[in-house]
Homo-oligomer: A and B are copies of this chain.
Amino acid sequence: MSNTEQLVKGNTPMLILSLLAEKPMHGYAIAKEIERRTADLLRFREGTLYPTLHEMEQRGWIQGSWETTDGGRERKVYSITPQGLQELQRQQHAWQRFRNAVEAVIGRKPSQSSEGGIEPCTT
């Protein structure tokens, strides 16, 4: 299967990588930040989030280290690795290609011209 198709369902890692590219975060904070930025539209359930984080660490995209807060609570803070940054770029390009492909089919022109976009052939 091509990567692009995989993207459709597998964009959880891309979103996580995007956040970690800004600053290191722990799992719970990642979930909350996603909800905050998308006004609860996107949401990472725990059953998805933690297994995904583990897999991403296995792949070498992120690196986790246990820390203890002042309160004494333990948490695992993840940082993005150089490979993770590379992967992020790759996935973001794939996302753009996918988005453009969808919009080529549904025939919707990118009204926000902030990214000098595809010139739709207006019929």
Contact = CB atoms under 8 A, between A and B. Distances in A.
A29 interface: no
Interface size class of A (residues with CB under 8 A): 35 or more
Interface in A27-61: 34, 37-39, 41-43
B15 A79 contact: no
A67 to B, nearest CB: 15
A5 B12 CA distance: 11
Interface of A: 2, 4-5, 8-9, 11, 14-15, 18-19, 21-24, 34, 37-39, 41-43, 63, 79-82, 85, 92, 95-99, 101-102, 104-109, 114-115, 118-123
30 contacts: A2-B43, A8-B8, A8-B9, A8-B11, A14-B106, A15-B102, A15-B105, A18-B106, A21-B118, A22-B107, A22-B115, A22-B119, A23-B115, A23-B121, A24-B121, A34-B105, A37-B105, A38-B101, A38-B105, A41-B97, A41-B98, A42-B102, A63-B123, A79-B121, A79-B123, A80-B121, A82-B122, A82-B123, A92-B108, A96-B108
